[in-house]
Amino acid sequence: MNRYTLALVALLALGGCGGGGDAEPQPTPSPQPTDPVRFTQIAPAPQDQPTHVASEAIEYELGHLPVRGIAPFPSVFLTPIHGAIRFPQASLPKSGRVNDRFPIVLLLHGNHEVTDPSYRGYDYLAQNLAEHGYVAVSIDANAINASTDDPFDPSNFGDTSSVSRGQLILGTLDQLRKIDRSGGPGWMSALKDKLDFERIGVMGHSRGGQGLTNAFKFNLQRESVTPIELKNQLANRPDTFARYPELLAAVVSPGVVDNELFVKALETEEVTFSPSANTVRPYNFRGGLLLAPTDFYGTVGLANIPLAVVLPSCDGDVFNMQGARTYDNNRYSFDYDTAADIQVLVRGANHNYYNTEWRRDDTNPPYLPHDSYCDAQRDQTPHMSPEDQRRGGLFLINGFMRHFVGGESAFGSYWDGLAQLPRAACPEGEWPCDARIALTIQKDATSRLSIHRFQYADSMGRNDLGGAVSLSGFDAAALCEMPYGNSESEGACMPARLPGFETKALAAGGLRSISEHIQLSWSSPKASMSTKLDGASAKAFDTLSFRVAVVRPFGQEIEVSLTDASGKSASVRASRFSDALYSGPKAPRSGSPLIPDIADLPFGNGEPVQLMNMVAIPLSAFPGVDMNRLQELRLDLPAQSGKIALADVQFQKLGR
C-alpha cells in the first residue's frame, strides 16, 4: 500500500472524516473573551438587502476608438466602444438610499473566441451591482481579440500586451463622462448627473486583467492615437479597416488617402479620439480586481489603488498563474503607497466558469491538461461546478467593489482577513468553506513592520531588523531572489533551487509565486527557524503574518512562538488561524502535524499549483508576552519530513 492508502486506513480507524461536506457544522463552545478566534464575524452576502431596482441589460454603441496594439497585432486599429450596461433605475422603499451619484464598475473580459459575446458573461455581477446602487458596464473587447473576421486566421490571437485594452477602458469612461454631463437619447438621459467619477472600480478577467493595469498607468499619462497615425495606418494597411467601408473609400490609390474623404469618414463611422497626454483630468480609480489575469511583461509600479489578484487553482488557460507575479511585483511597491495588495487563491476554480458565456471546462483538452488534482473527469477532485464557482465569484468580485469602491464597510472585515465566508459564497451544501479560499493581505508601509523579507544576500543569517537567524534540523536550505521581467523569468537561488520547487514551463503545478523567499526541506521532526528580534516593539500592530507554500506533502503544521525580553514565551499552532498550510479544499482533521481530510486523500498524489499564501496570527494569541520588547520569533516544524517555501514574515495591522 502507498502512503495515502495507509493514511486512509488510519483515518477510518479513527472514525469518520472531518471538514466540509453537506452537513451543517456542529455547534462549538463560545470562546472566552481572552481566547482569540480566527474569525470575528461572518461576511455579508452581496445578494442581501438590495436597495434599487436594476435596469435591464442595455447594449450600448458609443462610436469607435482608435487604439494601439503591439506587433504582430496591427499597430493602430479601431475598436467599437460597445458593451452592456446596467444601472439603478429607482430606490426601493425603505432602502435608505438616495439617488445621488452612483459609483461605476467596469467589467472587462479577455481573449476568447470572437464569435462568443463574452461581455454578456458577467451579467450576474452587473445585475447584483445595479441592485445595490452601482452602474455596471461590461465592455466588449472582441475587436481587440481579432484583427480579421475569420476566427481561424492565425493572426487572431489578440493584443498580448493588452495596451489596447487599457486604452479601451479609458475611452469608455470618456464617453460615459460625456453622457453624465449632457445626457442623450434613451437610456443616456437616466444617467445625466448620476455618475460618480470619484468612485470607479475595474474587474479585468484574463487579458482583461492585464488591460486593467495598463489603464491605471495610462490614466496618469495617456496613451492615445492621433488622426495622423490613423490616416497613415489606413494608407499602409487598409486591410485593418475591412469593417469600415467609409474609411476604405478614402483610400483613392495604393498608399494615398484623400484628406477630405478621410475627415468625412471619421464623422460617418463615429470615430472618437482619446484625449492626448495631460489634457484631461485623470479618473479616480478606487480598486482593481484581476481575475485569473495574464501578465506577459512583468507589471510593476502600481501604487495607491487597492488591488486584488484572484487565482483559480485549476486554471487550465493561464496555467502558469501569471497573476501571482503581478501580486509579488507590486506587494511592496513604494513607501508612499497607501493601498493594500491582496492575493486570493480559489481552490477548485477554473479559468472560464466566472464568465457564463465561456462554457468549456478549461481543465480538460484542448487546453493543457492538469494532473489528478484538478482533473474534472474524475469524481474525487476539488473541481467546482459553474454555478458553485460563480457563487464564490459574486462574493469576491462584488464584495471587493462594494468595499473598496463604494465604501461599504460591512464587507471590509473580510478583506482584512477577519470574517468568515457567508453560506451564499460557498458551493451548494458546503458550509463553512473557508478552506476553499486562501486570502493573502499586504498592508501599506504604515501598517506593517518587516521582520524577514529574504531580499538580501545574507538573509539566511540576518533578518530585516538586524537580528541573527538560525536554522536547525534542515537537510537543505536555499535563498531565492525575485526576478523582474516577462512571465518566463525565474529568480536565482543560492546555493541552488531545491528539488521539488521547480516552476514547470509547459505544465500545471509547481511553485508559481516569485517573491523573495527561502526554501527549506527536512527529513526528521522538529526542524526550526529562529530569528532574533532584539527588543523590537509590535505594539502598533495586531497580527503576526507570513507567507508559506507547502510543496510536500499535502499539509504541514508550523508551531509559532514569540518570546519577550524577560524570557516570557507563548506558542500557537498556525493552522488554528489559517488554511494556507493545507492543499485541500476542506479543513484538515485536527492534530499536529496536520492529518489530511479523508475526502482529500484520493487526489493527494496530484500536484496542485503552489502559491505562497498568508498565515495571519493575532498577537493576542500569545498571552503574557510583552509586545513592547520582543526578543525572538521561532517557527517549529513538527512533521516527520517536508518541504516549504517561506516569505514576508512581518507584523501587520489588520484591524483586530
Q: Please report, for the domain that includes residue 434, its CATH number.
A: 3.40.50.1820
> Within a domain: residue 37?
no
Nearest to 109 by CA among 384, 357, 308: 357
Q: What pLDDT is stored for residue 31 in this prediction?
A: 45
Q: How many domains does the chain have?
A: 3
What digits encode the pLDDT tens for the residues 495-535? 999 998 887 666 667 899 999 999 999 999 989 999 999 99
Mean pLDDT on 427-437: 95
Residues 263 and 402 placed together within one structural domain of the fold: no
Residue 567, CA distances (Å) to 531, 539, 540, 562, 636 in order: 15, 18, 21, 10, 18
Asked whether residue 263 is assigned to any structural domain, the reply reads yes
Domain co-membership, 110 together with 188: yes
Q: What confidence score (pLDDT) does residue 465 get? A: 97
Confidence band of 330 (pLDDT split at 50, 70, 90):
very high
| 168 domain residue, yes or no | yes
Q: Is residue 33 assigned to a domain?
A: no
- Domain hosting residue 243, numbered range: 226-272
pLDDT at 13: 33
CB-based contacts of 146, cutoff 8 Å, min separation 6 = 114, 153, 156, 158
Banded model confidence at residue 280, pLDDT cuts 50, 70, 90: confident
489 and 552 part of one domain? yes
509-512 contacts at long range (C-beta below 8 A, 24 or more positions apart): 509/370, 509/371, 509/373, 509/606, 509/607, 509/608, 509/609, 509/610, 510/607, 510/609, 510/610, 511/549, 511/551, 511/610, 511/611, 511/645, 512/320, 512/321, 512/324, 512/609, 512/610, 512/611
In a domain, 20, yes or no: no
pLDDT recorded at residue 504: 67
At 73-121, the pLDDT tens digits run 778 999 999 999 999 998 887 666 666 899 999 999 999 988 899 999 9
Same structural domain, 218 and 233:
no
Q: What percentage of the chain reaches a pLDDT higher than 90? A: 73
How confident is the model at residue 32, as a pLDDT?
46
Question: Which residue, 209, 241, 272, sits at the end of a domain?
Answer: 272
Task: Note whether 418 and 279 are same-domain residues.
Answer: yes
Q: Is residue 217 part of a domain?
A: yes
Q: What is the CATH number of the domain that holds 496?
A: 2.60.120.260
Q: Are residues 126 and 181 in the same domain?
A: yes
Residue 378: pLDDT over 70: no
CA distances (Å), origin 247, targets 171, 241, 250, 267:
21, 7, 5, 10
Predicted local confidence at residue 383, as pLDDT: 85
Q: Which residues contact 358 (CB under 8 A, 6 or more apart)?
A: 112, 116, 118, 121, 351, 352
Predicted pLDDT of residue 96: 60
Q: How does the average pLDDT of the chain come out, rounded?
A: 89
Q: Quote the pLDDT of residue 25.
A: 43
Same-domain check for residues 126 and 174: yes
The answer on 616 and 475 residing in a single domain is: yes
Distance of CA 184 to the CA centre of its chain: 36
Q: Are residues 72 and 197 in the same domain?
A: yes
Judged against a pLDDT cut of 80, whether residue 23 lies above it is answered with: no
Span 461-488, pLDDT tens digits:
999 999 999 999 999 999 999 998 888 8
Q: Say which residue, 37 or 14, is predicted with more confidence.
A: 37
Q: Is residue 7 part of a domain?
A: no
Q: What pLDDT, on a 0 to 100 scale, did the predictor assign at position 502?
A: 83
Name the residue with higher pLDDT: 268 or 372.
268
pLDDT of amino acid 374: 80
Pair 168, 92 in one domain: yes
Choosing from 249, 272, 295, the residue where a domain stops is 272
Rounded CA-CA distance 351/533 in Å is: 42
In tens, the pLDDT along 578-599 reads 999 998 888 888 888 888 888 7
Predicted pLDDT at 480: 97
27 located within any domain: no
Q: Where does a domain end: 416, 440, 464?
A: 440
pLDDT of residue 73: 76
- Asked whether residue 209 falls in the same domain as residue 325, the answer is yes
How does pLDDT run across 113-165, given as a tens digit for each residue? 888 999 999 999 999 999 999 999 999 999 999 755 444 454 556 888 899 99
Mean pLDDT of 255-273: 96
Residue 255: what pLDDT? 95
The pLDDT value given to residue 625: 98
Q: Do 216 and 288 sit in the same domain of this protein?
A: yes
* pLDDT for residue 45 is more than 90: yes
Residue 29 has pLDDT above 60, yes or no: no
Whether residue 4 has pLDDT greater than 60: no
User: In terms of pLDDT, which residue wins out, 196 or 383?
Assistant: 196
pLDDT over 70 at 33, yes or no: no
